[in-house]
Amino acid sequence: MIPTEKLNSASRVFLYSGIVLLPLSILEIIYGNLFSSYILLADAYHGFIDSLTAFLFSVLLKVIYRRTKRFPLGLYNLESLAMLMVSALILFLSVSVLLQSFGREASTPSWLSSLAWAGGLVTLGIYLLERRYNWLQLVRADMLHSKLDIVLEALSGVGIIVGNYFLTIAIVTTIVGFILVDTAREVKEAILSLVGANCNSPLAERIETILSSYGFNVARVYVRRLGSFYMIHVIVRMPSETPLSKVYKEKKKAERIVQTFDGVAVIDVRAVPTKVDRLKKEVRGVGVPRANTINEKSGPGHTSVE
């Protein structure tokens, strides 16, 4: 289990990031519209996505490891719904800016580049803070994103100073293209989360390998998206004569192991009888012992006394 104080600290970094990036994006929109700076407008819309993502990550890191049996899984769907709605809006605005920039050559003051570079400096500061928490997969992904943001914001400032029409078009197209790729990824993850579909993730293979090394007979590992995190379903095989007390202990042990993986929010470990036991039952017609055994009829993972 990741220490709560470290999660709280990482959560605060994302919170401060969102608080600083939001007013900068608003300023870029105001001055971008005032001086018809399409580079500034495109950069502002990108900043809005980053700000919203930072706020969501801050909230989720606060609650992800404090859930109970009544933990509201709808919170993850709320993240997905919010990302879908905001991404659609930002995508529309970004494409509109790109289309408006064609055929229009506007002269913008050089000092507007300071807004783009201020955003780059803020992003650089966030990147340096996040390096302390790079053991979190979510933070590592955001750090990679921050590197690209710094490059784009540096280019934006240069483009505003130069004021060349074709350079402006190239920079706006690059920023909008980056937004398109980012939005496509967010939309895909949001849809997978909302429909509850299993996703192909290397995490499943890693979990299966680790559990097998601890002596578990792993039948399947399913991975589902929960917003930015994962729900893990693990099915392990055990002999039908296994006492319920041992089944319970083994399930708890498996849960503790899976819990060590980064980004895992919900874990469901289920026990089923081994295939050999099923075949023996079918061939010999012998029923499963009526007490202290895995109940095969109740379905995968249900342990009860018949």
pLDDT per residue as tens digits for the range 51-88: 888 888 887 777 665 554 455 566 666 667 777 777 77
Return mean pLDDT, the chain. 78
Cβ–Cβ contacts within 10 Å for residue 185, how many?
A: 11
Confidence of residue 234 (pLDDT cuts 50, 70, 90): very high
Under CATH, which number does the domain 202-284 receive? 3.30.70.1350
Say which residue, 3 or 22, is predicted with more confidence: 22
Q: What is the mean pLDDT of residues 189-217?
A: 84
Say which residue, 85 or 117, is predicted with more confidence: 117
Q: Hey, where are the domains in the chain?
A: 4-194, 202-284
pLDDT at position 7: 75
pLDDT at position 210: 93
The closest alpha carbon to 43, from 158, 182, 175, belongs to: 175
pLDDT at position 3: 60
pLDDT at position 69: 47
Q: Answer yes or no: are the C-beta atoms of 230 and 289 closer than 8 Å.
A: no
pLDDT per residue as tens digits for the range 150-171: 888 888 888 888 878 788 888 8
pLDDT per residue as tens digits for the range 240-255: 888 889 999 999 999 9
Render the chain in DSSP notation, one character per residue: ---HHHHHHHHHHHHHHHHHHHHHHHHHHHHHHHTT-HHHHHHHHHHHHHHHHHHHHHHHHHHTTS--TT--THHHHHHHHHHHHHHHHHHHHHHHHHHHHTT------GGGHHHHHHHHHHHHHHHHHHGGGTTSHHHHHHHHHHHHHHHHHHHHHHHHHH--HHHHHHHHHHHHHHHHHHHHHHHHHHHHHHHT-B---HHHHHHHHHHHHTT-EEEEEEEEEETTEEEEEEEEEE-TT--HHHHHHHHHHHHHHHHTSTTEEEEEEEEEE-HHHHHHHHHH-PPPPSSSS--STT-TT-----
pLDDT at position 207: 92
pLDDT at position 274: 81
Q: Is the pLDDT of residue 19 over 90?
A: yes
pLDDT at position 305: 33
β 264-273/229-238 pair status: parallel
Say which residue, 266 or 1, is predicted with more confidence: 266
pLDDT per residue as tens digits for the range 282-302: 545 544 444 444 444 444 444
Q: Is the pLDDT of residue 196 over 50?
A: yes
Q: Is the pLDDT of residue 304 over 50?
A: no
Take residue 187 and report the two structure tokens written for it. Answer: 């939309």
Q: What is the mean pLDDT of residues 27-47?
A: 88
Q: Is the pLDDT of residue 236 over 90?
A: yes
pLDDT at position 191: 80
Q: Is the pLDDT of residue 104 over 80?
A: no
pLDDT at position 289: 45
